[in-house]
Amino acid sequence: MPPEPAVLLQPRTVLIARLPAAWRKPLVALVGAILALMLVTVHEWGEMLHQWWNIDTYNHLLLLPFIIGWLAALKSGELARVTPRPFLPGLALVALALGLVWAGRANGINLVAQAGAVAALQAGIVTVLGLRASLLLALPLVMACFLVPFGDEIIPPLQMITADIAIALTRWSGVPASIDGIYIETPAGLFIVAEACSGVKFLIAMVTLGVLVCCTRFDRWSRRAVFMAACIIVPILANGVRAWATIYVAQYVGAEAAGGFDHIVYGWIFFALVVAALLGGAWRFFEREPEEHGWTADSLAQWRWLARSEVRTLAPTGAALAIAALASIAALATVL
C-alpha cells in the first residue's frame, strides 16, 4: 500500500492553529480593524515614520514597536487564560480619536493629528479585545503613546537651562566668559547653545526608558517616582556638563576641534555612560522581573465591575466592522 502523501501546512495555517481557539476570530477581526484605521490615517503614520527615520531626536522610536511587541509577548500566557469580549463603548473612543485626526489636519497641527492616529489604534484594540484583555495589555498600550514624536515645545527652555549650567561651570573652571541668552562668549570664540545642543533628544529617550523600567522593574510608587525624577534631572544636568566640556576643551584645541569632539563623545559615548550609570545605580533596587509587570488574569477575576461590563452584545467581527465604518466616515469627512 503506497504511503499517503504528506500534507504541507502553510506557515499562516500553523500559526493560527497554535493560537487559543477563543483568540483566533478576535485577532483576525483586530487585524482588519487596525488595517482600516491605519488606512484612513496613513498620512499621519507616514509623517511619524519619516520623523523616526530622518530626525535624530526621534531615532530611538524605531525600536519602540519592537519593545511594545515584546511587552505584549510577555503577557501571552495570561492572555491565553481570558476570552476577548468586545467593549462597545470603545467605539466612542475610536470616534473621538478620529476626530482628533480631523481637527489636527484642519488646523495644521501635526502633533494633534498624529496623537489621534495612535489613539485610534489604542481605542480599536480596547474595542475589539475588550477591557479584560486590554488591562492585561495596559503597559504596551501606554507605551504606544510614545510613538508620537513630541518634544519640540520644550527646546527653548532646555536651551536656556543648558546655557545657564554651561556658563556656571565655565566660570567655575577659571575660563572668563560672558553670556547673553544662549550665546556664550569666551577667549576661544562665541558658542551658541543651538536646538541640537538643547538635550531634548537625550531627555525624551530617557523619559521613554524611564517609563519602561518603572513599570517592568519596580513595584513601589516611591521608587518609581525617584527613578523617573532621575530620568528627567540627570539628562538635563548631563547635557549642561557636556556643553561646558565642549567650551572647556575649545580653550585648548580650538572651537572647531572641540565641536567634532562633542559630536563623537556626546553622540555615542557620553549618552551610553549616563544610561549605564542610571541603570547601574537602580539595579540593586529592582523588585521584579519584566514578565511580572501589570495585572494577572487571576487578579482581574476579582474585579466584579469588570465582569458586569462584559455583557456580550456584539461579536469581535461586528466590532471590527463598526470600526471600519467609523474609519470610512472619517475618510469621507476629510475629503469633504
- The type of residue at 282 is A
How is residue 5 written as a grid cell?
502523501
pLDDT higher than threshold 60 for residue 48: yes
Whether 271 is covered by a domain: the verdict is: yes
247-263 core/surface letters (b: 16 or more CB in 10 A; e: else): bbbbbeeebeebeeebe
Percent of the chain exceeding pLDDT 70 equals 88
Q: Are residues 192 and 258 in the same domain?
A: yes
Domain limit, last residue, from 289, 306, 323: 289
Residues 223 and 271 in one domain: yes
The count of structural domains within the chain is: 2
pLDDT at 1: 45
pLDDT bucket at 307, cuts 50 / 70 / 90: confident
Is the per-residue pLDDT at 11 higher than 70?
A: no
Within this chain, do residues 159 and 197 fall inside the same structural domain, yes or no?
Answer: yes
State whether 198 and 230 are in the same domain: yes
Of residues 193 and 268, the one with the higher pLDDT is: 193
- In whole numbers, what is the pLDDT of the chain averaged over residues? 88
pLDDT at 263: 59
So what's the pLDDT on residue 15?
Answer: 46
Which of 264-268's residues contact partners 24+ apart within 8 Å by CB, and which partners? 266/242
* Domain identity same for 285 and 298: no
Residue 24 burial by Cβ neighbours in a 10 Å radius (0-12, 13-18, 19+): middle
What integer is the mean pLDDT of 111-136?
96
Task: Specify whether 239 is located in the same domain as 305.
Answer: no
pLDDT tops 60 at residue 282:
yes
Between CA 54 and CA 47 the distance in angstroms is 10
Domain containing 281 equals: 153-289
Q: 330 versus 335: which is more confidently predicted? A: 330
Within a domain: residue 108?
Answer: yes
Cell numbers at residue 55, please?
530626525
* DSSP line for 31-55: HHHHHHHHHHTHHHHHHHHHHHHH-
Q: 274 pLDDT exceeds 70? A: yes
Q: Are residues 219 and 138 in the same domain?
A: no
Residue scoring higher pLDDT (315 or 311): 315
Average pLDDT, integer, range 18-38: 90
Please compute the mean of the pLDDT values over residues 267-293 and round it to a whole number.
88
CA–CA separation, 320 and 98 (whole Å): 15
Does residue 197 contact residue 183 with C-beta atoms inside 8 Å?
no
pLDDT at residue 265 above 50? yes
The mean pLDDT of 155-183, rounded to a whole number, is: 92
**Does residue 2 lie in a domain region?**
no
Task: Say if 281 falls within a structural domain.
Answer: yes
Say whether both 195 and 284 belong to one domain. yes
Q: Which three cell numbers stand for residue 137?
A: 495589555
**φ, ψ for residue 286 (rounded to 5)?**
-60, 140
Residue 12: predicted pLDDT: 47
Q: How confident is the model at residue 118 (pLDDT cuts 50, 70, 90)?
A: very high
Q: Please report whether residue 248 resides in a domain.
A: yes
Record the pTM: 0.88
| 117-126, 247-256, 260-269, 314-323: range with lowest mean pLDDT | 260-269
- What is the average pLDDT across 234-248? 90
In a domain, 89, yes or no: yes
Same domain for 280 and 326, yes or no, is no
Residue 4 lies in a domain: no
Q: Please tell me the least confidently modeled range out of 30-39, 124-133, 261-270.
A: 261-270
The residue among 317 and 198 whose pLDDT is bigger is: 317
Are 126 and 251 members of one domain?
no
- At 14, the pLDDT band (50, 70, 90 cuts) reads very low
For the stretch 54-78, pLDDT in tens is 988 898 899 999 999 999 999 999 9
Q: Which stretches does DSSP call E strand in the chain?
A: 178-180, 183-186, 189-192
